[in-house]
A and B are shown apart, each in its own frame.
Chain A
């Protein structure tokens, strides 16, 4: 296995783990972590790609993606706090008043 395929496989595994967390977990914090995991996998691929193609642009993109991830985390935490502040139990599906 070449290092690049190894990187790609790792990234896919990490990405799948993130997606699985989204499907499996009910705690908003875990969900946010899942989403961040998916972003991290993307960053991994971007860096690997810069290695393959010798281009700096994807490294720059990786840095920017980090920033996007941070912004997302901040906003996500804020919203999650606001939604679940007044609830005794923190379960995603407790907030499902908007339906049908």
Chain B
């Protein structure tokens, strides 16, 4: 393992770790208003953002993505505390911090084992968080997510061990030539890839994520969706930059296409909005995979896709946060009385996920399709593009209901949620109008390409 050198992401990580300790310590303090805990969480999230200036490459993306997501989580948590008169569990702030630590670890990981550590931290925190919501459905979702996650984690660890046996190190492996080591490393890589695909939500390993995202509390879902995609993308970046995917582009691309089309078909006749978003996560996983299937030249597009996806997802879930964990059917939208701000945010998020220009989701799709065309060819790209635009039909189905009620919305969100929404909208608008900005942010500097490769 390499030396314990200073890195900005490490600093963020330590801030988060300190935050976890502070929050855990405050459990024993009685009488304190629980909302204060969330404020602490918010401050921590903000603190973890500070080192971003000196970071570059993957670390910068990781710090930005994780800190923004955490701020969002903390703010929504605070909103729930103030709104419900039913205090949430304190842990619901500790858990996103833990998950964030997992993702940051995955980003700064120097080798497969550190990656495994981050992955497991993320998985366990997400599963527990899912399980914390009220009601049978949420518990079930948490348990499924946990069980499938631990199964795939077993694959990951066994794969890592096989690779170590083959190469004598945990470093992200290139595929070796020597016959004995080659078999071990190939088998190991296949198992590792299965686990990463699960985290990404790639079909046919999407079941756990799908059910989890459907039934968990909306705030938690948004954060976990964002974190899982980020974590998986960082893992893929390491693996692809390490040379472990060479020769398997077409296979990944096939899985990507299957995933895109499962996402499309699952959403086509879907009437539950939350389930629709969950299926959309599967479809988007396909686009992530497509970017990385394109090899090293696609990594940048994949990271770009990730950052734009995270922004859209957070916006969407912030808009419907605090609305319970029951299924939201399209007809329910009419009764939901979303305020104009919420409805606008939700509509924009849906349109971005659908890939309508000039929203960030569209630019990201364009980038991925470009990368896919230049290294995978026309057939794959055409199928992906078609899957991408067919999606427009079902994403936009709820829009008329949404707009129809926009004028009558009465329930204004709490000030803090309003603030989150406005901030998210500003970022969203910036990424829409200046796609080059997000592209520069996600650029892996030549020197820091893949941090250490």
Number of residues of chain B lying within 8 A (CB) of chain A: 38
A8 CA to B160 CA in the complex, in Å? 14
Residues of A within 8 A of B330 (CB): none
- Smallest Cβ distance from A85 to chain B, in angstroms? 9
What residue in chain A is nearest B112 (Cβ atoms)?
A: A61
Distance in angstroms between the alpha carbons of A79 and B170 in the assembled complex = 32
Give the CA-CA distance A76 to B168 in the complex, in Å: 32
Contacts of B153 in A (CB 8 A): 35, 39, 68, 72
A82-B151 CB under 8 A given contacts A45-B165, A55-B169: no
Interface 9-residue window, one of B70-78, B137-145, B408-416, B443-451:
B137-145
CB atoms of B161 and A72 under 8 A apart: no
User: In the assembly, what is the distance between CA of A9 and CA of B151, in Å?
Assistant: 20
A35 with B158: CB separation less than 8 A: no
Indicate whether A45 sits within 8 Å of B161 (C-beta atoms), given known contacts A38-B154, A39-B154, A72-B153: yes
Contact with A along B261-279 (1 / 0, CB 8 A): 0000000000000010000
> Is A42 in contact with B117, judged by CB distance below 8 angstroms?
no
The verdict on B131 contacting chain A, using a C-beta distance below 8 Å, is yes
Please name all residues of chain B whose beta carbon is closer than 8 Å to the beta carbon of A68 when the two chains form the complex. 116-117, 120, 153, 157
**B131 in contact with A64 (CB, 8 Å):** no
- Near A by CB (< 8 A), chain B positions 384-413 give none
Determine how close the nearest CB of chain A comes to the CB of B237; give it in whole angstroms: 22
The reply to whether the CB of B56 lies closer than 8 angstroms to some CB of chain A is no
- Taken together as a complex, chains A and B put the C-alpha atoms of A41 and B162 apart, in Å, by 11
Q: Is the interface of A mostly helix, strand, loop or mixed?
A: helix
B275 to chain A, nearest CB (A): 7
Interchain CA distance A48-B127 in the complex, whole Å? 32
Question: At the interface, yes or no: B233 with Cβ under 8 Å from chain A?
Answer: no
The reply on A89 being an interface residue by CB < 8 A is no
Q: Report the minimum CB–CB distance from A91 to chain B (whole Å).
A: 13
CB distance from A77 to the nearest CB of B (A): 11
Q: With A95-B143, A98-B140, A98-B211 known to touch, is A15 a contact of B275 (CB < 8 Å)?
A: no
| B245 smallest CB distance to A (angstroms) | 22
Nearest B-chain residue to A94, judged by Cβ: B140
What per-residue 1/0 map shows which CB atoms of B209-224 lie under 8 Å from chain A? 0010011000000000
Indicate if A80 sits at the interface (CB-CB under 8 A). yes
Q: A49-B168, A75-B128 are in contact. Are A42 and B143 (CB under 8 A)?
A: no
Proximity bits, B166-181, A CB within 8 Å = 1, else 0: 0011100000000000
CA distance A83 to B348 in the complex (A): 36
Min distance, Cβ B159 to any Cβ of chain A, angstroms: 8
Contact at A79–B165, with CB atoms within 8 Å? no
- Are A97 and B136 neighbours in the complex by a CB distance under 8 Å? yes
Interface of chain A residues 21 through 79 with chain B (CB within 8 A): 22, 28, 31-32, 34-35, 38-39, 41-43, 45-46, 48-49, 52-53, 55, 57-58, 61, 64-65, 68, 71-72, 75-76, 78-79
- Does B29 touch A at the CB level, under 8 Å? no
Q: Across the interface, which residues of B come within 8 angstroms of A28, CB to CB?
A: 143, 147
B211 adjacent to A76 (CB under 8 Å): no
Cβ-defined partner of B154 (8 Å) among A18, A64, A78, A99: A18
Q: In the complex, are the beta carbons of A61 and B113 less than 8 A apart?
A: yes
Besides A57-B113, A72-B150, A99-B211, 12 more A-B contacts (Cβ < 8 Å) are A38-B157, A38-B158, A41-B158, A46-B164, A52-B165, A58-B164, A64-B113, A68-B116, A80-B143, A82-B143, A97-B137, A100-B275
A-B contact pairs, 24 of them (CB 8 A): A8-B165, A15-B154, A18-B154, A28-B147, A35-B153, A35-B154, A38-B154, A45-B165, A52-B168, A53-B164, A57-B170, A58-B161, A61-B113, A61-B164, A61-B170, A64-B113, A75-B124, A75-B127, A76-B150, A79-B131, A79-B139, A79-B142, A97-B136, A97-B137
Chain A residues engaging chain B, CB cutoff 8 angstroms: 8, 11, 15, 18-19, 22, 28, 31-32, 34-35, 38-39, 41-43, 45-46, 48-49, 52-53, 55, 57-58, 61, 64-65, 68, 71-72, 75-76, 78-80, 82-83, 95-100
